[in-house]
Amino acid sequence: MRKIVIVGGGYAGFYTAWGLEKRLRRGEAEVIVVDPAPYMTYQPFLPEVAAGSIEARHAIVPLHRHLRRTRIVSGRATAIDHAARTVRVELPDGSMADLSYDEVVVTAGAVTRVFPVPGIAEKAIGLKRIEEAVAVRDAVLTAFDEAVSLRRGPERQRRLTVVFIGGGFAGVEGFGELLSLATALSKYHPDLSRDELAFHLVDASDHILPEVTPPARVWVERHLQSRGAIVHLNTTVTSVVDGRVELSNGVSIDAGLVVWTAGIAANPVVSRHTDLPTDERGLVIVRPDLRVGTEDEPIDHAWAAGDDAAVPDLASGAGAYTIPNAQHAVRQGKRLAKNLAAVIRGRTPKAYRHRSLGTIATLGIGHGIFQSGPITIKGLPAWIIHRGYHVLAVPTWERKTRVSLGWLGALFLGRDIASLASVQRPRDAFRDDATSRRAA
Ligand X SMILES: Cc1cc2nc3c(=O)[nH]c(=O)nc-3n(C[C@H](O)[C@H](O)[C@H](O)COP(=O)(O)OP(=O)(O)OC[C@H]3O[C@@H](n4cnc5c(N)ncnc54)[C@H](O)[C@@H]3O)c2cc1C
The interface with ligand X within residues 302-331 (CB under 6 A) comprises 306-308, 324-327, 329
Note the Cα 12 to chain centre separation in Å.
13
Q: Give the Cα separation of 253 and 197 in Å (integer).
A: 12
Any idea what the Cα angle at residue 107 is, between residues 98 and 24, rounded to 5°?
A: 80
Using CB under 6 A as the binding rule, the residues of this chain from 60 to 79 that contact ligand X are 76-77
First-to-last alpha carbon distance for the chain, in angstroms, is 64
Query: Over the Cα atoms of the chain, what is R_g?
Result: 23
Residue 216 to residue 180: CA distance in whole angstroms: 20
Q: Tell me the closest approach of the beta carbon of residue 395 to ligand X, in angstroms.
A: 12
By CB under 6 A, name the one of 5, 10, 158, 212 that touches ligand X.
10
**According to the binding rule CB under 6 A, does residue 19 interact with ligand X?**
no
- Residue 182 CB, nearest distance to ligand X (Å)? 18
Give the residue, chosen from 20, 29, 32, 47, that forms a contact with ligand X under the rule CB under 6 A.
47
**Interface positions, 330-359, toward ligand X (CB under 6 A):** none
Residue 108 sits in the site that holds ligand X (CB under 6 A): yes
Q: Which is nearer to ligand X, 9 or 243 (CB)?
A: 9
The Cα–Cα gap between 224 and 205 comes to 17
Interaction mask 131-170, ligand X, x per CB under 6 A: --------------------------------------xx
Q: Kindly tell me which of 157 and 352 has the beta carbon lying closer to ligand X.
A: 352
Which runs of consecutive H residues, i.e. helices, occur in 187-325? 214-226, 268-271
Instruction: Answer yes or no: are the C-beta atoms of 257 and 201 closer than 8 Å.
Output: no
d(CA 314, CA 352): 8
**Which residues are CB-neighbours of 140 under 8 A, at least 6 positions away?**
50, 162, 178, 181, 182, 185, 257
* Closer of 133 and 341 to ligand X (Cβ): 133
Backbone angles phi, psi at 393, to 5 degrees: -80, -25
Selected range binding ligand X among 196-204, 301-309, 408-416, 418-426, rule: CB under 6 A: 301-309
Binding mask 259-288 for ligand X (x = CB under 6 A): --------x-x-------------------
175 binds ligand X (CB under 6 A): no
Of all residues in this chain, which one has the CB nearest to ligand X in the complex?
A: 10
Of residues 157 and 261, the one with the C-beta less far from ligand X: 261
**Residue nearer to ligand X on the CB measure, 10 or 312:** 10
Say if residues 364 and 384 touch (Cβ distance below 8 Å): no
Q: Are 219 and 226 in contact (CB under 8 A)?
A: no
Q: Which residues bind ligand X (CB under 6 A)?
A: 7-13, 34-37, 43-44, 46-47, 76-77, 107-109, 127-128, 169-170, 173-174, 267, 269, 306-308, 324-327, 329
